[in-house]
Amino acid sequence: MTDDQHTPEWPPSGMDLGKPTIARAYDALLGGKDNFAADRALADHATEHIPGLRESAWENRKVLVRGVRHLAGTLGMDQFLDLGSGLPTVQNTHEVAQAHNPDARVVYVDIDPMVLAHGRAILATNGRTSVFTGDVRDPKSILGHSAVTDRLDFSRPAVIMLVGMLHYLSPDVVDEVVTAYRDALAPGSYLFMTSLVDTGLPAQQELARITRESLEEGWARTPEEIEAQFGDFELLSPGVVYTALWRPDEPTDPNNLTAGEQLGMAGLAKKLA
């Protein structure tokens, strides 16, 4: 693994442990260990208000794995830029992609410096994977970062992932940001996204509200708004659907989804030209 920053002290200097972060609170929801009391308090508070929230976090991880498996295994993709990658957990993008395609290259980006600190340790022996700290809202600096330009070749097909990340892009920036990533891709590339959704269930906007209050960003979008972020890319079957219904490993009844299965949607689309 490569990066161009020095090893941070632990915990990374300047980190305010009394304030939750998105990455650590999500890790707490998943039952991980890379979080602090403030993150666990937020996860508990949100879980009390939002039935099925922990399950929904796991549904998001599961669809990430299915999506990467499909991209690397079936579609033969070997370049992945995972934006808002989160803290390392079980079955990370590079593990899934490289299990299907050992040559797959993966670059992780996250705004939370703890992701770099933990990612470096996990990726130390993996020469085809990098991680760096960056703000997805600044596509120019992300796409121009040496970790990306050294490892990924955007003149040929690649995958950009905004998994569990789209809903942290506010309405005033989302169009411009996602368009910049779409424009950077060559024909034959894919955009893979999941997002908190608004299908009219009160828990969805309530989760967005709690997230905005505690973590500054958090926006629930309608399925149509999520679909619009794929621009003129061609959506692969089954389109933008609840994550549990996106190419599930086992038959899943769309009329019998749990509360947690109705918080997020996923979609995968191909750039044709």
Ligand X SMILES: C[S@@+](CC[C@H](N)C(=O)[O-])C[C@H]1O[C@@H](n2cnc3c(N)ncnc32)[C@H](O)[C@@H]1O
Site residues (CB under 6 A) for ligand X? 22-23, 26, 60-61, 64, 84-86, 109-112, 135-137, 163-165, 168
Query: Which CB atom, from 26 or from 181, has the smaller least distance to ligand X?
Result: 26
| Residue whose structure tokens are 């305010």 | 16
Query: Which CB atom, from 109 or from 185, has the smaller least distance to ligand X?
Result: 109
Region of 60 (left: φ > 0; alpha: ψ -120 to 50; beta: rest) is alpha
* Shortest reach from residue 32's CB to ligand X, in Å: 11
| 97/105 Cα distance (integer angstroms) | 8
| Nearest partner of 68 among 168, 194, 257, 221, judged by Cα | 194
* Shortest reach from residue 135's CB to ligand X, in Å: 4
Contact 37, 163 (CB under 8 A): no
Query: Which CB atom, from 207 or from 269, has the smaller least distance to ligand X?
Result: 207
Q: Which residues contact 121 (CB under 8 A, 6 or more apart)?
A: none
* Shortest reach from residue 140's CB to ligand X, in Å: 13
* Shortest reach from residue 160's CB to ligand X, in Å: 12
| Residue whose structure tokens are 């410096």 | 113
* Shortest reach from residue 232's CB to ligand X, in Å: 24
* Shortest reach from residue 71's CB to ligand X, in Å: 14
Q: How far is CA 185 from the centre of its chain?
A: 18
Query: Which CB atom, from 4 or from 156, has the smaller least distance to ligand X?
Result: 4
Region of 267 (left: φ > 0; alpha: ψ -120 to 50; beta: rest) is beta
Cis peptide before 251 (omega within 30 of 0): no
Query: Which CB atom, from 109 or from 269, has the smaller least distance to ligand X?
Result: 109
| Nearest partner of 115 among 142, 92, 148, judged by Cα | 92
Q: How far is CA 106 from the centre of its chain?
A: 13
Residue whose C-beta lies closest to ligand X? 86
Query: Which CB atom, from 138 or from 227, has the smaller least distance to ligand X?
Result: 138
